[in-house]
């Protein structure tokens, strides 16, 4: 089984992963800082 990693920084995820919706996709990130980066990147498109 492959290990899940943060969609923003590739850090290994644990049980505290944060789910972020970008467009019509849901991705998991390791922290609120990465979640904010992805939310802002998603607004640009």
- pLDDT higher for 33 or 3? 33
pLDDT for the residue 1: 54
pLDDT at 15 over 90: yes
Bridge partner list, 27: 20
Predicted model pTM? 0.83
- Taking alpha carbons only, the member of 21, 43, 19 closest to residue 31 is 19
Beta-carbon count within 10 A of 39 CB: 13
pLDDT for 45: 62
Closest of 43, 1, 37 to residue 18, by C-alpha: 37
Percent of the chain with pLDDT over 70: 93
Alpha-helical (H) ranges within 1-45 are: 32-43
């Amino acid at each position: 089984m492959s290990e899940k990693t943060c969609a923003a920084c590739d850090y290994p995820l644990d049980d505290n992963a944060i789910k972020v919706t970008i467009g019509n996709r849901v991705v998991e990130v390791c922290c609120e800082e990465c979640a904010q980066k992805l939310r802002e990147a998603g607004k640009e498109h």
